[in-house]
Amino acid sequence: MYDAINDKLKEECGVFGIYSKDKTLDVASYTYYGLYALQHRGQESAGITVSNGFIMETHKNLGLLTEAFCKDDLNKLKESLRVSHEELEKQDTEVLGNISIGHVRYSTTGSTKIENCQPLVSRSKLGSIAIAHNGNLVNADIIRELLEDSGSVFHTTIDSEVIINLIARNAKKGIKTAVFNATQAIRGSFALVIMAEGKLIGIRDPHGIRPLCLGHIDGNYILASESCALDTIGAEFIRDIEPGEIVVIDENGIDSIKYSEKTQCETCSFEYIYFARPDSVMDGINVHEFRVKSGEMLYKQSPVEADIVVGVPDSGLACAIGYSNVSGIPFDPGFVKNRYVGRTFITPNQEMRERAVSVKLNPLKANVKGKRVILIDDSIVRGTTSKHLVESLRRAGAKEVHFRVASPAVKNPCYFGIDTSYRSELIGANNSQEDIREMIGADSLDYLSMENLLKALGEDKGFCLGCFNGVYPVSTPIETDKNHLER
């Protein structure tokens, strides 16, 4: 069923971890604010796990971070970690915990329920292990069946539990070996933060499809999905975790392990096009600068005479600025965005579903009336929202509406951590560009070409372009939906 509010590729997840040598540092609060900066990557659930070297405590719940946590929840996390009087005397200080990991989730596998919230925590011969995962495993079903056949019990329907079970099975070999062996079995996309044996561990898949970076603040180390999370808590960016790299952080510092020799950075192109926050830098590419450059390339590829350039908030705005800069056509806001409409917005019937886009984005009539408008968006998925945006501009008095898309046509599903539609539901997979133009009601339509997308990104590194050209860095399963792990 069409949801006008969410006619976009859906976000994946965000992960965050912090290791502090100073056990009086409030790592739970640092994690909370780090996750707040990553909220755009997932709004279905949020969770934090904290360890003081003796025990682990977790709080997680459904909803936005501010819904899943209140001040008392963070205080309870810290209170639960206060060690016994005898241990306090040994430490000669108050121990608040020195390692914390956190997760914000949009479900790409498994349904939205409390059992599937992360971080996941498991007990093994290593003690407790906690894990937070961004990405998707393409061989999770096979591994899960093998593990179940050998006696493993699963409590969730998400592929992340496959990873924690693999690690637990090799626990007696030590956490480094257990993690290394687990990475040899899993295939797909993954950016992981793991907490075990008093260590914080970060892992990135051999193709670097999902982002993960390393930072520090006052001698304390941080792992995060995006650099914007480091900025939020006042930390400094050190570097991106390399594809096929494991980093182990403990009291001795950082140990880097390469677990895969066949690595090539092929970051998901949609991270730059839509998902990432514009103030993030990912694998050396500034997200905002890329989006402005893609708008510039759009004009060079597909100029049109018009009176105003309008961007669809939020990720289309920088593209519109780039288009305006090189064309000389003024950029002006064309829509007012209601920022209080979230994923839980209820559209009770078909008529209201069709009008729902106006609840989130309403045209600014004073800016578009009587004008020829160039409307720029980052992508078109099903096309229904695009149609409503064009219609709303015409109702607001626009003389012409020329639609420009700052990415190639989306023709294939993603199997690596983005919840895309079936191929049959993707407007770009089943219609010609002219047909799409007629369907959305625009006077003209053009997509950024693959060549110009790569020029805007910079062609000195690789990218996953599977949703555009069907060529994936990892062999993909038969087309399925996000609930393929449901039992």
What phi, psi does 47 have (nearest 5°)?
A: -155, 155
Rounded to the nearest 10 degrees, the angle between the axes of helix 71-80 and helix 27-37 is 140
C-alpha span between 181 and 168 (Å, rounded): 11
Please state, in angstroms and rounded to a whole number, the distance separating the CA atoms of residues 179 and 201: 9
How far is residue 266's CA from residue 461's CA, in Å, rounded to a whole number? 7
CA dihedral of 451, 469, 260, 172, whole degrees rounded to 10: 140
Separation of CA 357 from chain center: 23
How many other C-beta atoms can be found within 10 angstroms of the C-beta atom of residue 123? 11
Say which of 13, 228, 268, 467 is annotated catalytic.
13
134 CB-near residues (< 8 Å, 6+ apart):
12, 13, 14, 15, 41, 190, 191, 192, 210, 212, 225, 417
Compute the C-alpha angle 462/464/465, nearest 5°: 110
The secondary structure element, H or E, covering residue 345 is none
Burial class (CB in 10 A: 0-12, 13-18, 19+), 150: exposed
C-alpha–C-alpha distance, residues 434 and 446, integer Å: 9
Q: Which of 5, 126, 104 is nearest to 45 (CA)?
A: 104
| Nearest CA-CA partner of 107 in 12, 4, 233, 2 | 12
Rounded Cα gap, residues 221 and 484, in angstroms: 36
Clarify whether 414 is annotated catalytic: no
Sheet order of strands, 13-19 included: 56-62, 45-51, 99-105, 13-19, 220-224, 213-217, 236-240
Q: Report, as residue numbers or ranges, the catalytic residues.
A: 13
